[in-house]
Amino acid sequence: MPEKLSKTIVKGMYKTMCTIRRFEEEGVRLYRQGFIRGYYHPYWGEEAIAVGICNALSEDDYLASTHRGHGHCIAWGADVDRMFAELLGKKTGFCSGLGGSMHIADVTKGNLGANGIVGSGVPIAVGAAMGAKIRKEQKVATVFVSDGGTNIGSFSEGLNLAAAFKLPVLFVIENNQYAVSTPIEDSTGEPLLYKRGLGYGVSGERVDGNNVLEVYEAAQKAVKNIRSGKGPYIIEGLTFRQSGHHVNDPGAYMPEDKLKYYLENDPIKVCKKFMLANEFSDQEIEAIEEEVKTKIKKGIDYAKKSEEMTEAEFMKFVEEY
């Protein structure tokens, strides 16, 4: 094991990545079986970014997420029982089943929410960071945004404000190379998206978004600098959306060779290869995967057995808010 890493950390990161993957596989199955309404945007294939970043953060920090946010919430430590319950519209879910797949939030734990409005996590995180700075708290607000989200005005405005006030914000660009059916090369003249920050005085870097250890190392360094008052930073993780935009999009416009490359370099495969070369046995890895399977099964059972809100309970929310 390389000096800077411990076996426990690697095991934890692998377990969380497997949890996200299984959550999505089973979530999509539940969607297709008619248990989940609305849209479903799977995070599979991008696990290394959420997990590498969140492992470098602390429980007191803030998270702002996207419409593809299940992985961010799980990496942040959200209970999968309550996440499945939210997806199934049950009152035991994080938002009593009223938010669904795109709006999982737990403000009591600093998770300021996934969000269906592209780019909207940016002002939320920047605002949270400003609050932390005013209160003299050492918190970091992390916002995940995908390549399409970097073209939204709030991204530029947020970068500018964060830079001007040296706010503790970590901007994480998940460059999965597609915004619905638009490939990245059709939406920007500068493929290195972290460079968007340079005009505002915000530095950044691109890392291999399919390599959890690389993401984790960059995040550790960035978080340390941000916490010490050096202001915002951008980490761009290059990855690939492994299927269509949402469950009902076959993604036929995605080039097969590119997809094949990224499936072969899938973040879970990459991490497993590292583990087998560094002190882990097949049996140890299988044991982690079995533990995850059991946890996910328990989560689905919990969600299915949970109740939906009654009409009277639902109306109370409408009247109160």
Ligand X SMILES: Cc1ncc(C[n+]2csc(CCOP(=O)(O)OP(=O)(O)O)c2C)c(N)n1
Name the residues that contact ligand X, by CB under 6 A. Answer: 67-68, 116-119, 146-149, 152, 176, 178-180, 241, 245
User: Is the Cβ of residue 19 or residue 150 nearer to ligand X in the bound state?
Assistant: 150
Residues 6 or more apart whose Cβ sits within 8 Å of residue 263 = 45, 242
d(CA 250, CA 89): 25
110, burial (CB in 10 Å: exposed 0-12, middle 13-18, buried 19+): buried
User: Is the Cβ of residue 123 or residue 201 nearer to ligand X in the bound state?
Assistant: 123
What angle is formed at CA 319 by the lines to CA 315 and CA 321, rounded to 5 degrees?
Answer: 115
Report the nearest approach of ligand X to the CB of residue 184 (Å): 8
Give 166-199 as a DSSP string. T--EEEEEEE-SEETTEEGGGT-S-S-GGGGGGG
User: Is the Cβ of residue 232 or residue 237 nearer to ligand X in the bound state?
Assistant: 237
User: Is the Cβ of residue 92 or residue 111 nearer to ligand X in the bound state?
Assistant: 111
Report the nearest approach of ligand X to the CB of residue 173 (Å): 9
Report the nearest approach of ligand X to the CB of residue 171 (Å): 13
Structure-token pair, residue 205: 């870097």
d(CA 156, CA 188): 14
Report the nearest approach of ligand X to the CB of residue 232 (Å): 19
Report the nearest approach of ligand X to the CB of residue 293 (Å): 26
Residue nearest to ligand X (CB): 148
Using an 8 Å Cβ cutoff, are 93 and 86 in contact? yes
User: Is the Cβ of residue 245 or residue 272 nearer to ligand X in the bound state?
Assistant: 245
